[in-house]
Amino acid sequence: MVKARTADRVTHFTESVIREMTRWAHQFGAINLAQGFPDFPAPEALKEAAARAIREDHNQYAITWGSPRLRAAIAEKYRRFYGMEVDPERHITVCCGATECMIATLLALLNPGDEVIIFEPFYENYGPDTWISGAKPVYVPLHPPDWTFDPDALRRAFSPRTRAIILNTPHNPTGHVFSEEELRFIAELCQRYDAYAITDEIYEHILYDGHRHIPIATLPGMWERTVTISGMSKSYAVTGWRIGWCIAPEDLTGAIRKVHDFLTVGAPAPLQEASAVALQFPPAYYEALRADYDRRRRLLVDALEELGFEVWRPQGAYYVMTDFRAFGFEDDTAFAMHLVREIGVAVVPGSSFYAHPERGRSQVRFAFCKREETLREAVARLSRLRARRAAL
């Protein structure tokens, strides 16, 4: 057999543990609280709009950087929510999910030798995205219980080699919502070091306890050095549609569009048309979204706490990081495999969110973007851990 001669860049990362846990969930018939996708239906109006778009024959390639209707709806939404003046012709690129937005942005921006600052723990993709782009990640820890960063540590991470910092607010996996003070501190460093903020705001509408989402692009001096990424997946429960967008200054948008064109040519055309409908949903839609997620959050988080997990209550997004040492396990992968195999609940081992895996060895992440009945069933299964705890 001939051994494949693969590129050096793929040696820097492993396959996604989140997606691997989904495969284990299928294999063992476990409830999937690992990967962040809803098990409840997408909004009826969106399914209708998608079916209509196909019937009306929006079935060929859309314009590479996004259907004009969708880009106009995106611009209008950013004006309405954040007072941002975004030009659909010059600033918006529609991609195959926030996932493609991130890699297209990094490929458009980075050269070998450049450094990218990433807060740790982080959404799994950011490390591999940076390596694939030929640059080097530099990690800055977020600290529980509220998952903020040490300002001095961030200051020390910036250097003349820093080309960008990746932000994610609300944050996966911790649920941290970056405050205006934190964002101003980051913005000041970006300006001092002539670096870009690449901000993944895919959970922008999923917020709890009065927390407010602030796009860093709206802070003084930041529009010209920010790429704002968001998309349809989380706010509208259509993770399989693969529609996302990035908003960037005109010259950078030109470079991102070039990369995007050769990566994928374009995002699914009929689903772009349907997405424009979602972006016109009234404020009541977002209020209901927040209230529904808050109920799911309380249900799972309270139950985990009661069972004996140490829980860091999320301020936004739909994940909760926990410490499981009360159950006598020391290793996150062993504990996650026990849960998926013996208890019937899939979660994500904490170490997969860290470049320094030892920092996440006592943690697992639960996703609560599921029906309340799914969460109740998961809690019923997890309550078998009580006996284990009692026996310690």
Q: Taking contact as CB under 6 A, which single stretch among the options 53-61, 95-103, 211-219, 264-272 is the one that binds ligand PLP?
A: 95-103
Residue nearest ligand PLP (C-beta atom): 97
Closest CB to ligand PLP among 98 and 107? 98
Quote the longest CA-to-CA distance of the chain.
64
Strands (E), the chain: 31-32, 92-95, 115-120, 136-143, 148-149, 162-168, 196-200, 226-231, 244-247, 310-312, 319-323, 345-346, 348-349, 363-367
Min. distance of Cβ 55 from ligand PLP in angstroms? 25
Contacting residue, 65, 78, 123, 335, with ligand PLP by CB under 6 A: 123
> Using an 8 Å Cβ cutoff, are 253 and 90 in contact?
yes
Closest CB to ligand PLP among 103 and 385? 103
State how far the Cα of 140 lies from the Cα of 118, in Å rounded to an integer: 6
Closest CB to ligand PLP among 69 and 234? 234
Give me 33's structure tokens.
């609280």
Which parts of 171-210 interact with ligand PLP (CB under 6 A)?
A: 172, 200, 202
What is residue 119's three-state secondary structure?
Answer: strand
Closest CB to ligand PLP among 22 and 168? 168
Tell me the number of residues near ligand PLP by CB under 6 A.
13
Closest CB to ligand PLP among 42 and 385? 42
Contacting residue, 130, 239, 253, 272, with ligand PLP by CB under 6 A: 239
CB within 8 Å of 379: residues ≥ 6 apart: 299, 300, 303, 307
State how far the Cα of 131 lies from the Cα of 386, in Å rounded to an integer: 42
Closest CB to ligand PLP among 239 and 315? 239
**244 makes contact with ligand PLP (CB under 6 A):** yes
**99 makes contact with ligand PLP (CB under 6 A):** yes
Burial grade of 147 (CB within 10 A; 0-12, 13-18, 19 or more): buried
Binding site for ligand PLP (CB under 6 A): 36, 97-99, 123, 168, 172, 200, 202, 231, 233, 239, 244
